[in-house]
Structure 1
Amino acid sequence: MFLSGKTALITGSTSGIGLAYAKALAVEGANIVINGFGDPDAIETERKGLEAASGAKATYSGHDLSKPDQIEAMMKEAAEAFGGVDILINNAGVQHVAPVEEFPVEKWDLIIALNLNAAFHTSRLAIPYMKSKNWGRIIQTASAHSLTASPFKSAYVTAKHGLAGLTKTLALELATHGITANCISPGYVWTPLVEKQIPDTMKARNMTKEQVMNDVLLAGQPTKQFVTAEQVAAMALYLCRDEAAQITGANMSIDGGWTAQ
Structure 2
Amino acid sequence: MVIENTNLAKGCLNGSVVLMTGGGGGIGYEASRALVWLGATVIIAEINREAGQHAADRINAELNTDRACFYPMDISKDEQVDALYTFAVDKFGGVDVLFHNATVTPVGAVDTLSIEDWDTSYGVNLRAPVMLTKRFLPQMMQRNRGTIVFVPSSGAAPYMGAYEVFKTAQVELCNTLAGELEDADIITYSIGPGLVKTATAVREIQKVAALMGLSPDEFYKMNESKMLDEETAGVGFAVSVAMAQRYRGQEIGSIQALIDAGVYRGEDNGDTAPQELTPEQFGIITTAARKLVQTFTEQYTGWFERNVFERQWVLRDFKKTTGMSADEMKGCMDTIKQQADTGDAAGIVKQAMLMKKLKQYYEHQCHLLQGYEKNPQKLRENSEIIQGWIKDVDTILSLLR
C-alpha deviation, 1:56, in angstroms = 4.8
Q: What is the identity, as a one-letter code, of the residue corresponding to 2:60?
A: E
Q: Secondary structure at the match of 2:195?
A: coil
Structure 2 residue aligned with 1:251 = 251
Higher relative contact order (CA 8 A, sep 6+): 1
Higher fraction of helix: 2
Q: Distance in 2 between matches of 1:86 and 1:244?
A: 12
C-alpha deviation, 1:166, in angstroms = 0.6
Structure 2 residue aligned with 1:209 = 216
Q: What is the identity, as a one-letter code, of the residue corresponding to 2:20?
A: I
Preserved CA contact (<8 Å) 1:184 1:232 = no
Q: Secondary structure at the match of 1:182?
A: strand
From 52, 56, 61, the counterpart of 1:47:
56
Identity %: 27
Preserved CA contact (<8 Å) 2:25 2:55 = no
Q: 1:3 to 1:169 in 2, by over 3 A?
A: same
106-115 vs 228-237, which deviates more?
228-237
Q: Distance in 1 between matches of 2:141 and 2:58?
A: 31
Structure 2 residue aligned with 1:127 = 137
C-alpha deviation, 1:121, in angstroms = 1.0
Question: How far does the alpha carbon of each residue in 1:10-57 deviate from its partner, in whole angstroms, 9 at most, with x for none?
Answer: 0011001111111111012211110224462x5434213433537453
The structure with the largest alpha-carbon Rg is: 2
Question: How far does the alpha carbon of each residue in 1:212-242 deviate from its partner, in whole angstroms, 9 at most, with x for none?
Answer: 4334xx2xx5x2x52223333333333333x
Q: Distance in 2 between matches of 1:205 and 1:113?
A: 27
Structure 2 residue aligned with 1:189 = 196
Q: TM-score, normalised by structure 1?
A: 0.85
Unpaired runs of at least 5, structure 2: 1-10, 257-265, 267-359, 361-401
Q: Secondary structure at the match of 2:99?
A: strand
Structure 2 residue aligned with 1:233 = 234
Preserved CA contact (<8 Å) 1:90 1:119 = yes
Q: Distance in 2 between matches of 1:21 and 1:8?
A: 11
245-254 vs 188-197, which deviates more?
245-254
Q: 1:32 to 1:176 in 2, by over 3 A?
A: same
Q: Secondary structure at the match of 1:66?
A: coil
Preserved CA contact (<8 Å) 1:30 1:54 = no
Unpaired runs of at least 5, structure 1: none
Q: Distance in 2 between matches of 1:56 and 1:208?
A: 43
Aligned counterparts, 1:136-155, within 5 A:
136-143=146-153, 145=154, 148-155=155-162
